[in-house]
Amino acid sequence: MSSTVTSSPANSTPDSSSPGSSTPVSTRAAARQLITPQRLAEFFAPRSIALVGASETSGWSRFIVAASAAVGYTGPLLPVHPRHDKIFGRPAVRSLRDLAEPADLAFILAPTEAVASVIDDAAAAGVRNVVVLASGYREAGPGGQELEEALVSQAAGHDIVLLGPNTLGFLNTAAKAAPFALTVPLPLTPGPVGIALQSGALSSALLAFARAQAIGVSTVASLGNEAMISTADVLDYLVADEQTKVICMFLEEIGDPAAFSAAAARADQAGKPIVAMKVGASQAGQAAALAHTGAVAGDDAVVDAALRQLNIVRVTSIEDLLSTAALLGYHRWPRGRRMGVLTASGGACDIIADRATAAGIEIPPFGAATTEAIAAHLPSFANPRNPLDVTGYVLANARTSLMTAIDYALDAAVDDPGLDFVLFTGFTAPEVRPPDEAVAGLLEARVGWLAERLRTAPIPVIPLGMTCTDLAGYGRELLAAHGLHSMAGMELTSRALGHAFSWLDGRGTVRPLAGRPGGPAGQAAAAGQPPVVWSEARARDLLSAAGLPVVPGRLARSADEAAAVARELGSPVALKISSAAVSHKSDIGGVLLDLSGDQAVRDGYGRVVQAARPHGGGDEVLVTAMRSGGIEVLAGVTVDPGFGPVLAVGLGGIWVELLRDTSLRLLPAGVDEVRRMLGELRALPVLEGARGGDRADLDVLATVIAGIGELACSVSGLRALECNPLWVSGDQVEALDVLVVADPDGGNNPDHELNGAG
């Protein structure tokens, strides 16, 4: 769970404390002030677009022209080129300054070295919004970083709002504008799904799947380097955008957790679900993300905890991303998890039952009235149960009437008070219109009936195809004409339902993230100074000073003193070398447990000091009381370079790794939240005294752990604070072992040094 300690990339949102960035605060603040909701709304709806550096041989230009056609853009596309007179049949001007009137937006296709002068031209021409395609900025290293800062400063100075650099632009189907330098698969359907991507090139993959499934989009934005307009800004724009009902994000990094979480909280308040694909779960994935955006990806478990805290649904494929968004964007939201399933295949019933159960969805029996109504339309060998298989017999033998058995079943199921929604596989949209006019007429009448039935049904009805295949041709148009949306396949739909319920459950619980603390900690981390491990005595003092319980113990500097302390504490005792020089005490023989009697303690003192000597251990040995019985818990805080302090709770000792059962929260987290963390553990029965073992007072335990979290947040320069084990028996809680890792100059209690082994 601990994150790599490396410098964090400069963040593009200037009001956040970004220790890695050297952009002057004044510039950042000036740039920030430009990004108002009004400016963003204007930015994403330009009515005239200049293409600076456009040429007919450039793929980018061709893509923009095609994308503009795809969204039905009717405004001017104004080519600007220093040497060409005519581009795509349109007269070109030499510079933005030569335009008759300022374009709403300039898409700058010019090479990196020419961008600055184009910005000046834009300013002179009164152009207030620009998209910068060029690469070679932040993602290219320190030189590029400087260049990017200069760019922001220049644009902000001219009152220009900038998307990019290193972006492919955006498209907006409601405003019918598409300064978007990438292939758009046709037809492009306007719709409820807003998309923001940190990898612009990936948007064609998303759009291809959206097209295949007739999933309509509102605005699609490639975020690029986020030098000025950030992920959080686009999130805010999409929350405000009327056409957008659900937001999809492809994320490689969450650069400014505080701004991001504030935007996510606003989305939650607005009732707009966010579905995110955040890559970098694998080591290899992190390396790729590093190369791609020049950003250090946070540790994946921390990201997971963060997204959960923000009620952002996390998915792992493009198909899941868009299916979940389509479900939430097109369909009424079920009020509960009780699902009716209507199919014409027993196998489909089995598959849906398996997948739905895996996604936490129930398939309760139909009510008596529903069963009776359905039975009336089934052959005797079919069973009117939920999930329902009307059997192929029905489909094969009832093509001459408008409604078949599955439709009658739908009629009955939507009125079943025991159901919250219905999954309906009874409609297949053919790609080609049936040549038989009567058959086609019947089909069209049935779609009309179905659309009306869905609209009037007391509970949501979700139509789906059996597998993930394209909706194309006639069938696609037929559904669109009736305002119907069909989900793609049993697998994707089951998962989308699971995601949707998890979002619905999480509404209103969003807790904003603090982000990494500024000040010395971040600074030192940014400077790459290696952290130091405190002596255990110093670490124990930190806890004690905060009123947190540690097992009784004292430092001894001789065998005699050790024996005296042991007598004081009572047998048995533990001895541990206490030295900042020795970080893995057990491994070098610096720890002895269960010592009883003067002689054993004296001998032990000698052995421990001797074992630690080659490692620079000194003569200080911590003598502590031993605890038997009880339960060993882990309570640890690590400071993520991006997200700040993260609390981990689980069973302690070897069980941490064996159980893989740790609950995480980004801090701050109060006692109630920690109590919920304990409740999430699979090992909860152990804490509750499973099979007559010791039990823990969970309220007391949560209070101590919350205190540990609070303490960790207060220590400047902290990298990690871990109690493992934190021993608990009933309402007795004591830290048996305390580890603190901090920056060399970190620690807010310098007087602790007096007590020994700093």
Stretch 437-466 residues interacting with a second copy (CB under 8 A):
465-466
Which residue in 387, 522, 644, 747 binds a second copy (CB under 8 A)? 387
Which residue in 150, 265, 468, 581 binds a second copy (CB under 8 A)? 468
Which residue in 612, 686, 735, 738 binds a second copy (CB under 8 A)? 686
**Interacting span for a second copy (CB under 8 A) from 10-18, 152-160, 489-497, 635-643:** 489-497
Stretch 161-190 residues interacting with a second copy (CB under 8 A):
168, 181-182
- The per-type count for the chain, helices as H runs and strands as E runs, is 26, 29
* Interaction between residue 354 and a second copy (CB under 8 A): yes
Stretch 238-277 residues interacting with a second copy (CB under 8 A):
250, 252, 277
* Interaction between residue 208 and a second copy (CB under 8 A): yes
Which residue in 150, 262, 265, 395 binds a second copy (CB under 8 A)? 395
User: Phi, psi at residue 244, to the nearest 5°?
Assistant: -80, 125
Nearer to a second copy, 348 or 563 (CB): 348
Least distance between a second copy and beta carbon 231 (Å): 14
Which residue in 336, 417, 685, 744 binds a second copy (CB under 8 A)? 685
Which residue in 117, 469, 509, 599 binds a second copy (CB under 8 A)? 469
Query: Which stretch of DSSP H or E encloses residue 649?
Result: strand 644-651
* Interaction between residue 292 and a second copy (CB under 8 A): yes
Least distance between a second copy and beta carbon 243 (Å): 23
Q: Can you tell me which residue has the tokens 């004292």? A: 554
How far apart are the C-alpha atoms of 218 and 482, rounded to whole Å?
A: 20
What character string, x for contact with a second copy (CB under 8 A) and - otherwise, covers 362-381? xx-----------------x
Strands 591-595 and 718-729: unpaired
* Interaction between residue 303 and a second copy (CB under 8 A): no
Stretch 505-544 residues interacting with a second copy (CB under 8 A):
none
Please say whether the beta carbons of 278 and 260 come within 8 A. Answer: no
Nearer to a second copy, 282 or 596 (CB): 282
Spatial CA neighbour of 6 closest among 745, 719, 748 = 719
| End-to-end Cα separation, the chain, in angstroms | 26
Nearer to a second copy, 258 or 462 (CB): 462
Nearer to a second copy, 26 or 317 (CB): 317
* Interaction between residue 705 and a second copy (CB under 8 A): no
Least distance between a second copy and beta carbon 25 (Å): 29
* Interaction between residue 680 and a second copy (CB under 8 A): no
Please say whether the beta carbons of 578 and 585 come within 8 A. Answer: no
* Interaction between residue 311 and a second copy (CB under 8 A): no
Stretch 544-603 residues interacting with a second copy (CB under 8 A):
586
* Interaction between residue 198 and a second copy (CB under 8 A): yes
- Hey, CA dihedral for 20, 21, 24, 28, is it positive or negative? negative
**Interacting span for a second copy (CB under 8 A) from 115-123, 352-360, 476-484, 544-552:** 352-360
Least distance between a second copy and beta carbon 554 (Å): 25
**Structure-token pair, residue 656:** 């941490």
Least distance between a second copy and beta carbon 673 (Å): 23
How far apart are the C-alpha atoms of 548 and 543, rounded to whole Å?
A: 5
Which residue in 85, 98, 101, 350 binds a second copy (CB under 8 A)? 350
Stretch 46-85 residues interacting with a second copy (CB under 8 A):
57-60, 63
Q: Can you tell me which residue has the tokens 């303690």? A: 601
How far apart are the C-alpha atoms of 662 and 655, rounded to whole Å?
A: 10
How far apart are the C-alpha atoms of 645 and 179, rounded to whole Å?
A: 40
Which residue in 75, 126, 136, 506 binds a second copy (CB under 8 A)? 136
Phi-psi group of 361: left, alpha or beta (phi > 0 → left; psi -120 to 50 → alpha; rest → beta): beta
Q: Packing angle between helix 536-545 and helix 698-714, nearest 10 degrees?
A: 110
At residue 197, the 3 state secondary structure works out as: strand
Least distance between a second copy and beta carbon 358 (Å): 7
**# residues near a second copy by CB under 8 A:** 99
Nearer to a second copy, 445 or 593 (CB): 593
Residues 6+ away with beta carbon under 8 Å from 455: none
How far apart are the C-alpha atoms of 26 and 16, rounded to whole Å?
A: 12
Stretch 624-653 residues interacting with a second copy (CB under 8 A):
653
- At 687, which amino acid appears? L
Strands 246-251 and 190-197: parallel
* Interaction between residue 355 and a second copy (CB under 8 A): yes
Q: How many residues does the chain have?
A: 758
* Interaction between residue 357 and a second copy (CB under 8 A): yes
How far apart are the C-alpha atoms of 265 and 249, rounded to whole Å?
A: 15
Query: Which stretch of DSSP H or E encloses residue 734?
Result: strand 732-735
Residues 6+ away with beta carbon under 8 Å from 320: 277, 492, 495, 496, 499
